[in-house]
Amino acid sequence: VIQAVFFGICVLTDLSSLLTRGNDSQEQERQLKKLISLRDWMMAVLAFPVGVFVVTMFWSIYIYDRELVYPKLLDNFIPAWLNHGMHTTVLPFVLIEMRTTHHQYPSRSCGLAAVCTFAVGYILWVCWIHHVTGVWVYPLLEHLSPGVKIIFFAAVTVIINVFYLVGEVLNNYIWDTQK
């Protein structure tokens, strides 16, 4: 969903830029700048770190023991192309976007705070679903003791923050910018 919303905003930004080119409207220019800022923020804070995290974590766990993250039973309901759409294509598309469009990253402290907020919110959502249904969204969590779950959730939060920093460094390298 994050990727679909992000790339929808990318298309909207590109279309708005094309449609307002040559137009001297201050209001349209202001709105376009807001849209570009939203696109850049979403890339920095959500699309890149979450996208890279999903691909690396999903396939690492899948290769180790697919039943921990994507039980074979799901093959009956979710076709392979959709699984790859959710867990594979994210990475090449986000890398292509990073290479073709310069994104202005927020200040490091604001970016890391936003990534942490998202990670903690998502973890709380996963825990809430378990609380209400008694089932963990990710089967891996069934096999972890409460203490290990806390360590796992902390590690996940650290990893996604590292991916934010990797995205910032990669963006600056590709576009030869310095903070």
> In this structure, how many other beta carbons lie within 10 angstroms of the beta carbon of residue 58?
19
Phi, psi of 106 (to 5 degrees): -70, 175
Query: How many domains would you assign to the chain?
Result: 1
Position 22 confidence tier, pLDDT thresholds 50, 70, 90: confident
Q: Quick one: what percent of the chain has pLDDT higher than 70?
A: 98
Q: What average pLDDT does the segment 142-153 reach?
A: 96
Question: How many degrees, rounded to 5, is the angle at CA 71 between CA 55 and CA 66?
Answer: 50
pLDDT at position 20 is 83
Give the 3-state DSSP-derived string for the chain, with helices as H, strands as E and coil as C. Answer: CHHHHHHHHHHHHHHHHHHHCCCCCHHHHHHHHHHHHHHHHHHHHHHHHHHHHHHHHHHHHHHHHHHHCCCHHHHHCCCHHHHHHHHCCHHHHHHHHHHHCCCCCCCHHHHHHHHHHHHHHHHHHHHHHHHHHCCCCCHHHHHCCHHHHHHHHHHHHHHHHHHHHHHHHHHHHHHCCCC
- Distances from the Cα of 5 to the Cαs of 42, 82, 83, 144, 171, in angstroms? 9, 17, 18, 32, 21
Quote the domain boundaries for residue 32.
1-178
pLDDT at position 23 is 77
pLDDT > 70? residue 171? yes
Compute CA 86 distance to the chain's CA centroid, rounded to the nearest angstrom. Answer: 11
Q: What average pLDDT does the segment 160-168 reach?
A: 97
pLDDT at position 5 is 95
pLDDT at position 178 is 56
64-97 tens-digit pLDDT: 999 998 989 999 999 999 999 889 999 999 999 9
Q: What average pLDDT does the segment 154-171 reach?
A: 97
pLDDT > 60? residue 179? no
pLDDT at position 4 is 92
Structure tokens at 173: 């390298």
Residues 150 and 135: their CA atoms lie apart, in Å, by 17
24-78 tens-digit pLDDT: 788 888 899 999 999 999 999 999 999 999 999 999 999 999 999 898 999 999 9
